[in-house]
Amino acid sequence: MTTREERSRSVALMSVALLTVAALVLVLLVWRAAASGGGARADVGEILPLRAEPPGQPVTVQLPGSEVTVTVGAPVATLDHELLEVEYDDPRWEDDQDLVAPDGGTLVPLSWRARALGGLMREGDPTPIRIRLLAGDEGVDLTEIVLDGTSASMDADDQRPVVVAFAGRHEVEDLTIEVEYDGLTQTGHVDSGDIDAGVAQPLYDDEDDFTAGCAEVEDRCELSVVDPRSPRRPDSATLTASYLTLYPYDRALGWAEEGTLWAGVRLHVFGTSGVVDARGGYWSVLRFPAPKVTLDGAEPVRREDLGDAERDTYGRVVFQVDADQDPRELTIEATFPLSGPGSPPDLPLRAVLDLAPVG
């Protein structure tokens, strides 16, 4: 064997050795990358903040006096470091690693916003709103919000972008949002945007209002004597009735039972200052009694004010009604005690108001 041949064999053997070492190093690097996921691996159930709202499918859930919108992005295995909102001095991110899903798992980027719609329902309401993300059978609690008018609750209108880590591999059709308010949980399906609202469904429908035709002072309804044969008549006895509104949630009564709704109306009963008869007799009214109010013959389940008064009485009543049947008749009755020479018995007055849909 010549010297040249020996040299060639030596070079070949060295090349093979170098290639073998390089292959071993490459295998080791691949093994290490596979073991670490090439970044910082998230723990199952971990929630990390993001720099900006991820693109995705918005799901909006209606609540009494507010709404929650959750925008959910597509599930991924890795999230670029540049998308993460991390502390610059956090040693976990000192090498600007990407975020990697748990072994065999998924990362789901999303954001949420809770917006108060104003009105009576939300004033001073301490009821928390709980938001939860589900991926298949896995669930992670995202946040609890109270929209009570404080500065902290105002911040809930800002987007809250985060990424959530799940143990299993999931697709968009596996994802749902749960929003709980006062014991009722509504479920939003991310792939379709559909909401399983349960008894909260009327919040998504057009508002049902009914009018008696005397919502304004200039359109007052009349209170008449119960017995049309009575010679006595009030000199003036009127009332106003706001629109009667059907709704699924009352801040004092909670959610209406399935198949029913609450029906609320505000009344201002001006009553009468005196009573006259055909012979010129006159009797003054001692006081304005608390009126009896019924809706299609049913008593109210809740009453605010509307009690005895010196001049007039004002308040609100709430009824529980069949969700599939329109209310038809609102009745207000009051018996007025009289004062004066030879005072006759108390005078009962009544107004029977037919209700019609608004619009």
What letters, b where the CB count within 10 A reaches 16 and e where it falls short, cover 278-288? eeeeebebeeb
Task: Please state, in angstroms and rounded to a whole number, the distance separating the CA atoms of residues 341 and 338.
Answer: 10
- Mapping DSSP onto H, E and C, the string for the chain reads CCHHHHHHHHHHHHHHHHHHHHHHHHHHHHHHHHHHCCEEECCCCCEEEECCCCCCEEEEEEECCEEEEEEECCCECEECHHHECCCCCCHHHCCCCEEECCCCCEEEEEEEEEEECCCHHHCCCCCCEEEEEEECCEEEEEEEECCCCCHHHHHHHCCEEEEEEECCCCCHHHEEEEEEECCEEEEEECCCCCEECHHHHHHHCCCEEEECCCCCHHHCEECEECCCCCCCEECCCEEEECCEEEECEECCCEECCCCEEEEEEEEEEEECCEEECCCCCEEEECCECCCEEEECCECCCEEEECCCECCCEEEEEEEEEECCCCCCEEEEEEEECEECCCCCCCEEEEEEEECEECC
Write the pLDDT tens digit of every residue in 288-305: 889 999 999 999 999 999
Measure the CA angle with vertex 33, ends 163 and 101; round to 5°.
Answer: 20
106 close to 166: Cβ distance less than 8 angstroms? yes
What is the per-residue pLDDT for 156?
58
Full-model pTM:
0.81
Residue 278's pLDDT is what? Answer: 79
Nearest to 171 by CA among 73, 55, 46, 34: 73
Distance of CA 9 to the CA centre of its chain: 80
pLDDT the model gives residue 45: 96
Show the domains of the chain with their CATH numbers. Answer: 41-198 (2.60.40), 208-357 (no CATH)
Q: Count CB neighbours of 209 within 10 A.
A: 17
Burial pattern 149-159, b for ≥16 Cβ within 10 A else e, equals eeeebeebeee
The stretches in the chain having pLDDT less than 50 are 1-8, 10-37, 119-122, 151-152
34: buried, middle or exposed (CB in 10 Å: 19+, 13-18, 0-12)?
Answer: exposed
Between CA 173 and CA 105 the distance in angstroms is 16
What digits encode the pLDDT tens for the residues 89-99? 677 776 778 99
pLDDT of residue 338: 85
pLDDT at residue 147, rounded to an integer? 85
pLDDT digits (tens, 9 = 90+) for 37-54: 468 899 999 999 999 999
